[in-house]
Structure 1
Amino acid sequence: MKIVADTGKCVGAGQCVRVAPELFDQGEEDGVVVVLDAEPGDELLAVAGEAVDLCPAQALSAG
């Protein structure tokens, strides 16, 4: 799985960070998503998928 963030769509809601802080962070100035680990291991696939599903702006995708 590879996580891709469309920072132009991100509204800074922070749902991804709340669900998977080991995979995501937010920029200090604008709150836009920062992907910390674009290719998480098997142990983080479920939380990565949950973060993608919870994104209110649909700024995250995984494939």
Structure 2
Amino acid sequence: MCRENIVRMVAGIMILMSVSLAVFVHLNWLALTAFVGLNLLQSSFTKFCPLEVILKKAGVKE
């Protein structure tokens, strides 16, 4: 699996997890959803994603 697919998968998992936690635990978990969304937005402009840097250092191929 390539890095781009892993980044998208992790973002989707984080969003679904935080929405579930907001529904079943506490609404403050929606802050995590907002953080992930803002990170996706900024990476679309800057082409910088912290998870991609981590995956690159871990040796995941492009």
Larger gyration radius, structure 1 or structure 2: 2
TM-score, with length taken from structure 1: 0.31
TM-score, with length taken from structure 2: 0.31
Q: Which has a greater percent of strand?
A: 1
Q: Which has a greater percent of helix?
A: 2
